[in-house]
Structure 1
Amino acid sequence: MRALIVDDEAPARDKLRRMLAAFDDVEVVGEADGGAAAMELAAQLQPDVIFLDVQMPEVDGFAVAASLPDDGPELVFVTAFDRYALQAFDAQAADYLLKPVEPARLQRAIRRLRMVPRVQAARPQAATPTTQLLVVDRGATHVVRSADIQWLQSADNYVNLKLAGRTFLLRRTLESLLKDLGPGFVRTHRGAAVALAAVRAVRPRGNGDAVVVLQDGTEVPCSRQHRPALLERLQAPAG
């Protein structure tokens, strides 16, 4: 169940993300701090469910809901106010949670979502690595081939896509992006990952850490925690 969290308050997003981490079948694929960003991410990430705040500057939660297609993601409104409940269900919301969200109440919401046909249909599908990404930069939409990405660098809820001579900024978490890119990429550090095809060498450093040297000479940090998995993946046969 791919989830998008939308709330203009970072502590609220952090708390809900931690609570959703308790469910093995829920993956938070992105976060948005406002309605405009939520609409962009909903189109880009195609989540199964959006956990959506109501009161947000400029574009509120109901405007986001109205912008979604009829076959779009399920909606769970998460707000501190109970007065929007009727309006939320008029917007075809799957559930309505009051802040502070109680674990038992969230569990009931997840249980209800699991019964939704859209979510049930999505669960058994095998993940196929994406071959390209769409990145909006200065009003233009760029098609970035996965094969052209040399390495990835996380920056909060964004990821820098490092290509030869160019960098694109994508609103995603590194963890969720790696799942979409598939086995051709491997994490080397809490905030970095490399394309296996771009690796030229792995040079050891002190305390078990290392530096990954790419084909163009770029050096990417590799922590001792991730070094064994990187070496194992580099030794694995292609395909």
Structure 2
Amino acid sequence: MPRVVLIDDEPPARRGLTRMLAAFDDIDIVGEAGTIDQARDLVATLRPDAVFLDIELSSGKGFDIITDLSPDTAVIVVTAYSLYAIDAFDVAALDFLVKPVDPDRLETAVNRLRERLAQQQPAGAVKTRPPARILLKSMMSSVMVSVNTITLLQAEADFTRVHLDSDQTYLAGGLLGKFEADLPSPPFCRLSRSLIVNLEQIHAVEWQAGGRGVLRFSAAGREIPLGRSATRRLRQLLDD
């Protein structure tokens, strides 16, 4: 089932596209964003199969988030300005829809998305089983740990700080994105550019004023403060 995110700064436009996509039983709208920052947060967390992307946003150009997308995420441009067609295909957009969106053109775009996903996941392909253990390498040593014992991972420059439920930590070689690709999702979810948490290891969450929060893990009462965007993302994950 294609998982898609709608990015448009006009709520009526998002509602209209949502109604039109409801005609396709296999399309799952997993999130909506009205600003560049919201869009970046969503795509980093949800890693959708496709984004329906408006270009003229009040917070900037929709093209600004293209570099934040996984190469596997398809871009379907939805805009009122046909002059962006060449720019859209310069960034390898899967399709280009002009507002008001024609239902037949939307169906064509959805079919193209289905075909693209079918090519990425051949019929009968078996998904790789998530690893039960993961190797953490550092300059001084290497250690194999159970994935289930990892509570969170934090980016530290070109390294990743891995926290375990025993309250041990390891500074492992490799960027946070490398570990994100290796860990099963769920329960591991990226809350920000510098933080991945194991949802199954969270002991409690304290929702604070100003849209912020504090994560508490059972091991030694460790507390992790969250910014507004990470707190909002965690709420979305826990509400699903």
Fold equivalence (TM over 0.5): yes
Question: Deviations for 1:162-189, whole angstroms, at most 9, x for unmatched residues?
Answer: 9799997333886xx47xxxxxxxxxxx
Q: Is the 8 A contact 1:66 1:91 kept in 2?
A: no
Name the residue aligned to 1:12.
13
Number of residue-to-residue matches in the alignment: 169
The answer to whether 1:44 aligns with 2:45 is yes
Contact 2:54 2:78 in 1 (8 A): yes
Matched, 1:55 2:83: no
Counterpart in 2 of 1:65?
Answer: 66
Question: Are 1:146 and 2:200 matched, yes or no?
Answer: yes
Contact 1:135 1:144 in 2 (8 A): no
What residue identity is the alignment partner of 1:131?
P
- Runs of 4+ aligned residues of structure 1 deviating over 6 Å after TM superposition are 122-126, 160-168
1:131 pairs, out of 179, 182, 187, with 187
**Could you say what secondary structure the match of 1:31 adopts?**
strand
Partner of 2:91: 91
Contact 1:85 1:96 in 2 (8 A): yes
Determine the structure 2 residue equivalent to 1:79. 79
**Aligned counterparts, 1:88-237, within 5 A:** 88-117=88-117, 120-121=120-121, 130-136=186-192, 141=195, 143-148=197-202, 169-171=231-233, 177=237
CA distance in 1, matches of 2:38, 2:47: 14
Structure 1 pair 103–134 and aligned structure 2 pair: CA distance change class (3 A): same
| Alignment-derived partner of residue 25 in structure 1 | 26
**Unmatched 5+ stretches in structure 1:** 179-191, 194-239
Q: Does the CA contact (< 8 Å) of 1:133 and 1:146 recur in 2?
A: no
User: Equivalents in 1 of 2:74, 2:94: separation in Å?
Assistant: 6
- Asked if structure 1 preserves the Cα contact closer than 8 Å seen for 2:5 and 2:48, the reply is yes
Measured in 2, the distance between the counterparts of 1:141 and 1:112 equals 34
Shift of 1:149: 6.5
**1-structure distance, mates of 2:126, 2:28:** 14
SS in 1 for 2:9: coil
Q: Note the C-alpha offset of 1:133.
A: 2.7
The Cα shift of 1:29 comes to 1.1
Secondary structure of 1:51's match?
A: strand
Residues 33-66 of structure 1: CA distance to partner in whole angstroms, max 9, x if unpaired? 1122212221221111110000012331111124
| Structure 1 residues 100 and 116, CA gap change in structure 2 (3 angstroms) | same
Structure 2 counterpart SS, 1:4: strand
Q: Distance in 2 between matches of 1:29 and 1:125?
A: 24
Query: Aligned partner of 2:233: which letter?
Result: R
Which SS does the other structure have where 2:97 is aligned? strand
Q: Report the residue type matching 1:79 in the other structure.
A: T
Task: Tell me what 2:151 maps to.
Answer: none
Identity %: 35
